[in-house]
A and B are shown apart, each in its own frame.
Chain A
Amino acid sequence: MPEPKVLQGRRVVSVPVALDTAVWPANSIVLRVAPDEALVVGDGDPVVDDPHALIEDDASLAAITLPLAEAGDLLATLCDWEWPIAGEFLSQGLVAGVPVRVWTRSDRVLLIVPSSYLHEVEERLG
């Protein structure tokens, strides 16, 4: 199991339309966890067209990064929803009984959990 990493980022809470049109820093990972909320991992500040947007430093999430092939095998037996699903997407549900956000790209998968749950996921994934 690769070393999990705490995701140092910014939590952005704003109106959905401002998040739809926001300019995110280059090379950042943007997790749109709700219509009015996004988590941006990476350096630099997002530009959001909303004077009331809240942009706060956030280190509450941690991620385990897996190559896509490896993740598919693992998640096929541990996910409570059907796996694999093709494409780039963010899904969330129970993995081994623990709530996990699964961020999927063509080459890799990030299992994103609140950092305070990390040991639960690690123990259950073995």
Chain B
Amino acid sequence: MNEFVERRVKLRFAEPRRAYDVVIVGGGGHGLATAYYLATRHGLTNVAVLERGYIGAGNSGRNTTVIRANYGVPATVRFYQHSLELYQRLETETDRSIMHKEKGLLWLAHTEMGLRAERARARINTACGSETVFVEPEEIMRICPQLDLAGAGRYPILGASYHPHGATARHDRVVWAYAEGAMDRGVDVVQRIAVNGIRTSGDWVVGVDTDQGPIDAPVVLSAVGGHVTSLCSTAGVRLPIRTHPLQAFVTNHYQGTFEAIVASTELLFYASQTARGEMLIGAEIDRQPSYSYRSSFDFLASCSGRALALLPFMANLRILRQWTGVCDMSPDYTPVMGKTGVDGLLVTTGWGTWGFKAIPAGGEAMAELIATGATPDLIAPFSIDRFARDRTLADRGSSGTH
């Protein structure tokens, strides 16, 4: 919160009115980015963003802030590459500092199978317009000298894919940049309002029910994290989403410089250094669905052990904070975006462990869908009917990590 004062963020929250053209449920990155692009690209400002807690309190404030596009199927590579490019321009576009920093991302392979996967990743990324190259161990050591190539004798580093435009940004600042941009143009952002249900009339959406009374709107977008299934079920919409906990932690300040972002699918772990110098470490989802936001000591112990196998210098660091978010996972590890079958009800979900990097492209695409009524080509593959059409997008590049 110090940053509010440092950079004098002017967030002016609104009281809810009775009716809007568009109601967006969820004041996280996706909801606020959608509102921002509705206002800036399409001139639609009779829009409300309704947030149950405070903006960015959910997964927008709980992720590990990695921005990358090195996914595994063409549709996702293109989508995330577009998002990565929007992030590169976001500070200029919004005139707000989001502490965006390109770091380069190493994705390590410890087995022959892993090598094949990373070579395949480099090729499919290159073919789809995202820059990723395969690198040998000597190059890996140049990029990240802290790595133990022997992997503590158990996880030898045989090669990696390197994604030079992999980046991080400060998550709160992304949320505030979009919120401020939307507010300045007349969008109502309301905090501390709980949406309990979606109101329909026949096959049409007519608004939402909140704990401060009903609000009318012919278009409702669910940009909710975690509770999206319950919300959409009030309009009779079934979703292919299961909600899992995802844990992460940061250490105290590391005196050295750790430039890159390092990830390993086989060890289910990834690490980067925050602007404060802390080492930020994340892992895979917990296997059982849960909304409890409970962290565990067991996770800390097992994840630290795996991290130390690759980055032995971290043995001298202490863990400062640990937290848990809830991830909406789709069966094919790919988002679910667009129309729902109920007219006027749109959904952007399935953001599982890759929601932060998708905020700009996701918001831009949902805004275009709301404003024009037509699903943009970029997100057409992510529509919910892909499961019925046998067009699932099983993506090994997502793999349940960040």
Contact = CB atoms under 8 A, between A and B. Distances in A.
Direct contact of A and B (CB under 8 A): yes
B32 to A, nearest CB: 17
Contacts of A56: 53
A15 B294 contact: no
Given A56-B53, A99-B319, A50 B295 contact: no
Contacts of B54: 54
A10 B4 CA distance: 21
A117 B297 contact: yes
A54 B3 CA distance: 13
A36 B1 contact: yes
A53 B2 CA distance: 10
Contacts of B296: 116-117
Interface in A72-98: 98
A67 interface: no
Given A54-B54, A56-B53, A99-B319, A120 B2 contact: no
Interface in A1-41: 13-16, 36
A14 B297 contact: no
Residue of B5, B11, B296, B297 with most partner-chain A CB within 10 A: B297
A116 B295 contact: yes
B297 A116 contact: yes
B297 A120 contact: yes
Given A54-B54, A116-B296, A117-B296, A36 B319 contact: no
A14 B2 CA distance: 7
A14 B1 contact: yes
A15 B2 contact: yes
A50 B5 CA distance: 10
B297 A98 contact: yes
Contacts of A46: none
Interface in B1-44: 1-2, 4-5, 9, 11
B180 to A, nearest CB: 13
A15 B319 contact: no
What is the interface of chain A mostly: helix, strand, loop, or mixed?
A: mixed
Contacts of B297: 98-99, 114, 116-117, 120
A117 B322 CA distance: 12
A13 B11 CA distance: 17
Sorting the interface of chain A by its residue count into under 10, 10 to 19, 20 to 34 or 35 or more gives: 10 to 19
A62 to B, nearest CB: 12
A16 B53 contact: no
Interface string B284-308: 0000000000111100100000000
Given A54-B54, A56-B53, A99-B319, A116 B294 contact: yes
B92 to A, nearest CB: 26
Contacts of A117: 296-297
A123 to B, nearest CB: 11
A36 B53 CA distance: 19
A52 B4 contact: yes
A55 B204 CA distance: 38
Given A54-B54, A56-B53, A15 B295 contact: no
B175 to A, nearest CB: 13
A99 to B, nearest CB: 7
A116 B245 CA distance: 14
Contact of A16 (B2, B4, B294): B2
Contacts of A15: 1-2, 4-5
Nearest to A98: B297
Contacts of A98: 297
Contacts of B300: 99
Which of A52, A56, A115 gathers the greatest number of chain B CB atoms within 10 Å?
A: A52
B177 to A, nearest CB: 16
Given A98-B297, A117-B296, A54 B319 contact: no
B1 A50 contact: yes
A36 B295 contact: no
B2 A36 contact: yes
B309 to A, nearest CB: 19
Contacts of A120: 297
A13 B1 contact: yes
Interface in B95-109: none
A115 B1 CA distance: 25
21 contacts: A13-B1, A14-B1, A15-B1, A15-B2, A15-B5, A16-B2, A36-B1, A36-B2, A50-B1, A52-B1, A52-B4, A52-B5, A52-B9, A52-B11, A99-B300, A114-B295, A114-B322, A116-B296, A116-B297, A117-B296, A120-B297
Closest 3 CB pairs of A and B: A117-B297, A116-B294, A52-B4
Interface of A: 13-16, 36, 50, 52-54, 56, 98-99, 114-117, 120
Given A15-B4, A54-B54, 9 more contacts: A15-B1, A15-B2, A16-B2, A36-B2, A52-B1, A52-B4, A52-B5, A116-B296, A117-B296
